[in-house]
Copies of this chain bind each other. A is one copy, B any other.
Amino acid sequence: MKRSLGARTLLYPTPVLVIGTWDTAGKPNLMAAAWGGICCSQPPCVAVAVRRNRHTYAGLIEHGAFTVSVTSEALAAEADFTGTVSGAEVDKFAAAGLTPVESEIVDAPWPDEFPMVLECTLRHTVEIGVHTQFVGEIMDIKVEESLLDEKGVPDLERLQPIFYDPGRGGYWTTGRWLADAYSLGRRFSDNSDQPAGRSR
């Protein structure tokens, strides 16, 4: 039996994205965001939602760019901190002991200590409600070499990404590898006339 919880923002998982921008004074800034995700395969794009009263907002628009860093378990406290103080009053890089790296391909910085970063050029700005959604084209992704597997993609047992729980208000770790996609559900294809494969 399902219970109605009303109109609210619960979803599992939501990511712990750390948005890097230059502010309007040219100072590097960071902001944690759980409202976001990939939104297009070609061109590769990621969306992040930012409230208009956030310090990140004006700088992101002025520079037309942002970075998105993925949070590992070891950097959970740093990411959390960037969501609890305002860049208008605090240099979050300095306070959290993080090193700003200037992207060579988009006009935004990222924290060197974070294991993985998406460098994004702003493509769409969508006014939804209290949040504005910024859609960025992913121009490059950079990942610590030691976290890559033999195929050159991140090994999540090493990257150890965390996710955000908007109901309880906290963070969970990555568990165990479950299964390959596009094959796990193959047994149900026996009940249909169409062989399994990527769907249309």
Contacts and interface: CB of A to CB of B under 8 A. Distances in A.
Interface of A: 1-15, 17, 31, 34-47, 49, 51, 53-55, 68, 70, 73, 76-86, 88-92, 94-97, 116-118, 123-124, 126, 128-131, 133, 135, 137-145, 148-149, 151-154, 156, 159, 161-189, 191-194, 196-200
Given A5-B142, A185-B77, A85 B192 contact: yes
Given A117-B2, A177-B170, A192 B90 contact: yes
Contacts of A70: 11-12
Nearest to A81: B185
Contact of A144 (B2, B9, B172): B2
17 contacts: A7-B137, A11-B37, A12-B159, A35-B37, A39-B133, A40-B49, A77-B185, A79-B185, A81-B185, A82-B185, A82-B199, A85-B197, A86-B199, A96-B188, A153-B167, A156-B172, A174-B174
Nearest to A144: B2
Given A84-B196, A84-B199, A14 B37 contact: yes
A130 B42 contact: yes
Most buried by B among A78, A123, A175: A175
Contacts of A189: 81, 84-85, 95
Contacts of A163: 13, 163, 174
Given A173-B178, A174-B175, A2 B142 contact: yes
Contacts of A153: 5, 10, 167-168
Given A35-B37, A84-B182, 11 more contacts: A3-B145, A12-B116, A35-B41, A38-B166, A39-B49, A40-B128, A83-B198, A84-B189, A86-B194, A95-B188, A162-B178
A5 to B, nearest CB: 5
Contact of A170 (B42, B152, B181): B181
Given A85-B199, A89-B193, A192-B95, A41 B11 contact: no
